[in-house]
Amino acid sequence: MIVVVLPAHLRSLAGIKGDVQLEIEGAVTRHSILDALEARYPMLRGTIRDHVAQERRPLLRFFACGEDVTHEPADAPLPAAIADGSEPFYIIGAIAGG
């Protein structure tokens, strides 16, 4: 079970309380996590990555096991601790104005 931590605005948009738990078959990558997240919560499509280009929105970043994986390839395997759910996958909004 993968654990995903979302920014507060996206939790409220999707009606999520707390963290998200996702089942993922196959390789656990940023790509597969986002696909599973958007399938569970269609209202999040377009909010984390662009509808068409599927590129990350500029003010969002991704962290795994304390490492910034934002600029790693989307299909790169994430650490085992993410894959087994012992560590959450963080989607974080930039602290920029407000």
| Coil vs helix vs strand at 14 | helix
**Edge-first strand listing for the sheet containing 2-5:** 20-22, 2-5, 89-93, 60-64, 67-68
∠ CA(46), CA(71), CA(32), 5° rounding? 50
Work out which of 17, 18, 23, 52 binds another protein, going by CB under 8 A. 52
Give the contact letters, 20-49, x = binds to another protein (CB under 8 A), - = no: ------------------xxxxxx-xxxx-
90 contacts another protein (rule: CB under 8 A) = no
| Residues binding another protein (CB under 8 A) | 7-10, 12-15, 38-43, 45-48, 50-52, 57, 59-60, 93-94, 96
